Amino acid sequence: MTVSPADFPPPFDWREFVAEPTDPADERIDVGVLIVGGGPAGLSAAIRVGQLLEEHPEVAEHLGDVPVAVVEKGRAPGAHLLSGAVVNPRAFRELFPGMLTEDMPFRAPVVREGVYFLTPKRHVRVPAPPTMWNHNHYVASLSEIGRWLAEKAEELGVTLVPETSARTLLVKGTVERRLRRRARAARALEEALAEFERMGAKLWAERARTELDRVGGRQPRSPGELTPSERRIAELVAEGLSNKEIAATLFVSVHTVEVHLSHAYAKLCVHSRAQLARRLAASKYGNRDLLAAGGAPGASPEPGRRGR
């Protein structure tokens, strides 16, 4: 008589692990496909689902405003991936057919490997077993792979929800905007923007600003409401200096310049260095029409730009 462990499973009741939602119905985010875990496997799954939905848009429509979402336990994709790795690129080539290896998130190809037998005083090289052959493989950082896969997933419309509450608020605000609940959307997005700015997450702050612009949740402030440091940096930007030149002039780091410039962009509701210069000029010469307009919307954000 053959006995298999599978014939004697431990007691399991799915109700202990799956519960009804506790949040009010109007505060929930309905997700079509939810993937728990933002590691390489979870992000690859999200990318593949996104690719399939691009091929079948009618299915995507049935999955709602958030067709695919990835819940990540770190503050950002790749934050919990700490090791290096030797990667076989085969899976990447299957997931991204036609992509060149040079465009994948690898550091360098493996050119040789060695296996050594170690003693307290010596080391002897021994032939590498086949399982340790790494010909045609690549050295990579798992953290960089995670961030790269997250970018590819977002390009396909996947929503990433990491540990930080700001990203959750951003998702909530976006969904509320699509449902035409403008007041709720504005509240969630204002909170998300404040948190992103506190964290120094410039790209996410810009995304929150864009969503706020769509619901009309922000009004441009006067340049006089900038802090002295923000105003000084804004004036130097208006004079045409690069972030690196401003940092040298004020004896601060480039990162400090970027942070203050991001805050100035947010307060004045501008998105480019040219718009910032026009806002300062309008304030100086009393052009109220230009001051209220805040420059043409839609330009690319540039707080992190280091060149002119």
Residues of the chain with pLDDT > 90, as a percent, come to 24
Per-residue pLDDT tens over the stretch 73-107: 777 778 788 888 899 999 999 999 999 999 999 99
Most confident by average pLDDT, 46-55, 76-85, 269-278? 46-55
Mean pLDDT across the chain: 80
Mean pLDDT of 34-56: 93
Per-residue pLDDT tens over the stretch 145-191: 998 998 899 889 888 877 667 777 888 888 888 888 888 888 888 88
Given pLDDT bands bounded at 50, 70 and 90, which one contains residue 308? very low
Domains for the chain: give ranges and CATH numbers: 30-105+141-163 (3.50.50.60), 219-293 (1.10.10.10)
List all residues 6 or more positions away from 197 whose beta carbon is below 8 Å from its beta carbon: 205, 262, 263, 266
- pLDDT for res 10: 81
Per-residue pLDDT tens over the stretch 188-206: 888 888 877 776 666 677 7
- For strand 31-36 and strand 66-71, is the pairing parallel, antiparallel, or unpaired? parallel
End-to-end CA distance of the chain: 79
* Cα→Cα distances 216→88, 175, 187, 210, 212, Å: 48, 15, 11, 10, 6
Residue 221 has pLDDT above 90, yes or no: no
- pLDDT for res 201: 64
- pLDDT for res 135: 85
- Closest among 172, 165, 169 to 65, alpha carbons compared: 172
Given pLDDT bands bounded at 50, 70 and 90, which one contains residue 219? low
Per-residue pLDDT tens over the stretch 63-77: 877 889 898 877 777
Given pLDDT bands bounded at 50, 70 and 90, which one contains residue 287? very low
For residues 86 and 303, what is the distance between their CA atoms, to the nearest angstrom?
35
For residues 191 and 214, what is the distance between their CA atoms, to the nearest angstrom?
16
For residues 152 and 158, what is the distance between their CA atoms, to the nearest angstrom?
9
Most confident by average pLDDT, 101-110, 206-215, 262-271? 101-110
- pLDDT for res 94: 94
- pLDDT for res 289: 42
**Are 72 and 159 within 8 A, CB to CB?**
no
Q: Say which residue the tokens 């493996």 belong to.
A: 110
Mean pLDDT of 199-215: 76
Residue 31 has pLDDT above 50, yes or no: yes
- pLDDT for res 222: 55
